[in-house]
Structure 1
Amino acid sequence: MKPLEGIRVLEVAMYGFVPSAGAVLADWGAEVIKVEHAVNGDPQRGLRRTGQFVVEGDPNPNIEHANRGKRSIGLDMSRPEGKEVLDELIRRADVFLTSFLPGHRRKFGIDVEDVRALNPTAIYARGSALGPRGTESDKGGYDMTAFWCRAGIAASLTPAGMQGMINPPGPAFGDTISGTNLAGGIAAALLKRERTGEPSTVDVSLLGSGVWSMGHGIALSVHLDKAMAAPAPGVHGSPTNPLSGLYATADGRFLTFVMMQPGKFWADVARHIDRPELADDPRFATAEAIAENTPSAVEILRETLLTRTLAEWTERFATLAGPWAPVQDSRQVGDDAQIRANEYLVRAGELELAANPVQFDVSAPKLEPAPEFAAQTEDVLTELGLDWDRIIELKAAGAVT
């Protein structure tokens, strides 16, 4: 049994952030009904070009990633008949999940007090760009603006002198992280309700998630009154630790060492790179000596690691005691044996999708593909007790798809 089986979630949300929270809840076993505009659906469905990627036809990963495992109903909330259907869905929900801005929540009658009037025990969960308080709480935004740029991530990654800013590494980067945060908050609120009977209003913003992701660096910066500065391109890494940095291999690939105690691991690294004499070199005999002679050690490691390919070093480093990793692009991740062993990529219909990072009982979630637009409208309506005459009336009125 999945942890959230029996929990009903009503999602009135668009794009990547809040729908990704619904996807995680669906992964955990909740029944998630996605309310989409009766004509246009979620605008994310029309996203075919993302940076360098162009998707032709279906399935479309741009919609599947954040909507797998849900059911879709096409509903016009602005029509009285559509609002009646929405109200009945609210009455039956454990969680009301929305990305709508405050003004639109009031316009459609789906703000906290509206939902609680219909369902006093519903968890009300909302995702925003900039948080529920302050003078900018009614403004919208995206992960690029609120998460990536405003929370300090872009500036902390961008080297001095570079024109512009480093962009996010992939689409919906901040959205997905923030959505997982929101799903976790909803799960905690469900536990509180089970224990106390009291529902919560759960808020997660892109800005707050960005600040949390940068939390260690922001705490240091505020404490020391100094902004983080990105290292110049090509810099090794730690200026006092040759075993904490990036190295090129013979085939133009890279690997990284992150061994925070170089004195503990130096001799083992020396043996694994076929340079056993380095283990007894007095320049590297202690952590203090290694720190003092880091430039020399870095030069030795750079020259040595350039003599073999990444695949060859990967085979040799299988028994290396200290932490290291290959630098992989997004396509190479799909061929990583450790990722496959842990089922961090899971098939959902025709696609393989990233599983949410939480596993229960050492098993990956079983994923279903995202629904086609409004595919379950009639099923959802019949489950509400509507007969076919009423469903036809609703369709004729344009209230449902």
Structure 2
Amino acid sequence: MNTNEPLAMGPLSGLKVVELGQLIAGPFAGKTLADFGAEVIKVEPPATGEGQGGDPLRQWRLLHNGTSVWWQVQSRNKQSVVLDLRSEEGRADVRALAAECDVLIENFKPGTMEKWGLGFDQLSRINPGLIMLRISGYGQTGPYRDLPGFAVVAEAMGGMRHLMGEPGRVPVRAGVSLGDTLAALHGVIGVLLALQARSQSVSLDAPKGRGQVVDVALYEAVFNCMESLLPEFSAFGAVREPAGSALPGIAPSNAYRCADGQVVIGGNGDSIYKRLMHAIGRPELAEDPGLTNNAGRAARVDEIDAAITAWTVQRSVDAVVATLQAVSVPVGRIYTVRDIAADPHYRARQMIQTITTADGLQLDVPGIIPKLSATPGSIRSLAPSLGEHTEAVLALQRTPRPVLD
């Protein structure tokens, strides 16, 4: 796409956000708001003798001309302002930005912002409508609040890591930071809720309405996605254990070996299960009275999985997918990024978009989700160079405002 073309403003046009976070959780929340039209001013630390400065993500994973290609995704549609929050001048500039913004995002260790004189109580006195999104490992309260928390620990504490892997083996991790991303998305939800609440609290003494803190803990964002884990333990003392590629208690739903690869099959709906069994030539299992519902199938899942595997191992991935799609059984090959990049559905849904970076690199990047029919999000600008907007943004903040009678 040509980022110089004028694009329709998103539904968050007019919303001003200051992003103080680094790496993944806070910046992912900022990216999501920016994709839908918010003006996001990303505050980054200056270079020091110990490092190159800026968000460390600039230097993470694979680099092109010294900058991570990931940076082009995480910081698109943002402005970069360099401020030293350890200096009083830098903190004063943040206060000036906070006085006029709608949302401030931070993901420092709890207490850091207060130590700098930038806590919610301090900033809300100069901007009563301020909404502060605070993302941390364990939240702003509780006995663990002061412990350092990363996504890898949150995924473990939230219950996810225990379930990932093969029974009896060391748990594995997903190859991405799920805890950070889940926390960011919960944070965006919280910001939108707080904006709605603010609009309902407008009064003469609060013309913009009252802001509030959105407190998101990484482990809680993970725990919120753990489905039936806790109620099953509470009611039955059941501790769910890792089950490899299967989904315990839901059958059949698993990954299956083929002659040239693997597929995933979700045949756990009652009518879907019957179609699946007929498709693999096992009509007796389709019509077995004991297998007409999920409870019966879950009790005999090993038998069902063995029947499916006996069929899939004799066929190619393409043949298995074609056969099962023809009878409306959910099935899919296990994609690598090469498969994603070549898939026409991704392209048709604009989930792969092409940008040209400032140094001429043609780069495919993930598109925007969710899809809004009337006010869609857009990529309006490339990820900024370090401090690219410092002078312009601070000049605006430091310009004396006219005094109105």
Corresponding residue SS for 2:31: helix
Match of 1:98 in 2: 106
2:10–2:375 CA contact under 8 A, matched in 1: no
2:11–2:376 CA contact under 8 A, matched in 1: no
Counterpart selection for 1:342 from 345, 349, 368: 349
1:20–1:65 CA contact under 8 A, matched in 2: no
Would the alpha carbon gap of residues 65 and 172 (structure 1) be closer, same or farther in structure 2, given more than 3 Å must change? farther
2:324–2:330 CA contact under 8 A, matched in 1: no
Count residues with an aligned counterpart: 369
Q: Distance in 2 between matches of 1:351 and 1:364?
A: 22
Residue ranges of structure 2 left out of the alignment (5+ in a row): 1-8, 48-52, 202-208, 357-361, 401-405
Counterpart selection for 1:312 from 316, 319, 322: 319
Q: Which amino acid aligns with 1:285?
A: E
Residue deviations 1:9-65 (CA, integer Å, cap 9, x gap): 0111111111110000001110000001122111222323xxxxx435355234333
1:284–1:293 CA contact under 8 A, matched in 2: no
Match of 1:225 in 2: 237
Alignment of 1:106-185 (within 5 A): 106-146=114-154, 148-162=155-169, 164-167=170-173, 169-185=174-190
Match of 1:214 in 2: 226
1:342–1:364 CA contact under 8 A, matched in 2: no
Corresponding residue SS for 1:125: strand
Matched, 1:256 2:258: no
Match of 2:87 in 1: 79
Match of 1:398 in 2: none
Q: Distance in 2 between matches of 1:236 and 1:93?
A: 47
Q: Which amino acid aligns with 1:166?
A: V
Would the alpha carbon gap of residues 216 and 236 (structure 1) be closer, same or farther in structure 2, given more than 3 Å must change? closer
Q: Distance in 2 between matches of 1:17 and 1:240?
A: 32
Q: Report the CA distance between 1:211 and its aligned residue.
A: 0.7
1:68–1:348 CA contact under 8 A, matched in 2: no
Q: Distance in 2 between matches of 1:134 and 1:205?
A: 11
Match of 1:204 in 2: 216
Q: Distance in 2 between matches of 1:208 and 1:192?
A: 22
1:77–1:83 CA contact under 8 A, matched in 2: yes
Corresponding residue SS for 1:6: coil
Matched, 1:332 2:345: no
Q: Distance in 1 between matches of 2:249 and 2:114?
A: 55
Q: Which has a greater percent of helix? A: 1
Corresponding residue SS for 1:213: coil
TM-score scaled by length of structure 1? 0.83
Match of 1:42 in 2: 55
Would the alpha carbon gap of residues 79 and 301 (structure 1) be closer, same or farther in structure 2, given more than 3 Å must change? closer
Match of 2:16 in 1: 8
Counterpart selection for 2:254 from 236, 245, 257: 245
Q: Which amino acid aligns with 1:307?
A: Q
Q: Distance in 1 between matches of 2:227 and 2:315?
A: 38
Matched, 1:303 2:310: yes
Percent of pairs identical after alignment? Answer: 23
Corresponding residue SS for 2:54: coil
Residue deviations 1:112-148 (CA, integer Å, cap 9, x gap): 01111221111111111101111221222110012x1
Q: Which amino acid aligns with 1:248?
A: R
TM-score scaled by length of structure 2? 0.82
Residue deviations 1:83-130 (CA, integer Å, cap 9, x gap): 332222111101111112233212221100111122111111111110
Match of 1:391 in 2: none
Would the alpha carbon gap of residues 245 and 85 (structure 1) be closer, same or farther in structure 2, given more than 3 Å must change? closer
Q: Distance in 2 between matches of 1:37 and 1:223?
A: 50
Counterpart selection for 2:397 from 370, 384, 388: 384
Would the alpha carbon gap of residues 240 and 288 (structure 1) be closer, same or farther in structure 2, given more than 3 Å must change? farther
Q: Distance in 2 between matches of 1:270 and 1:149?
A: 37
Residue deviations 1:238-263 (CA, integer Å, cap 9, x gap): 6884x433221121x2122222234x
Would the alpha carbon gap of residues 307 and 360 (structure 1) be closer, same or farther in structure 2, given more than 3 Å must change? same
Q: Report the CA distance between 1:323 and its aligned residue.
A: 2.2
Corresponding residue SS for 1:221: helix
Match of 2:197 in 1: 192
2:253–2:266 CA contact under 8 A, matched in 1: yes
Would the alpha carbon gap of residues 64 and 220 (structure 1) be closer, same or farther in structure 2, given more than 3 Å must change? farther
Would the alpha carbon gap of residues 348 and 104 (structure 1) be closer, same or farther in structure 2, given more than 3 Å must change? farther
Q: Distance in 2 between matches of 1:238 and 1:257?
A: 14
Q: Distance in 1 between matches of 2:121 and 2:325?
A: 58
Match of 1:60 in 2: 68
1:359–1:365 CA contact under 8 A, matched in 2: yes
Would the alpha carbon gap of residues 353 and 59 (structure 1) be closer, same or farther in structure 2, given more than 3 Å must change? farther
Residue ranges of structure 1 left out of the alignment (5+ in a row): 49-53, 388-401
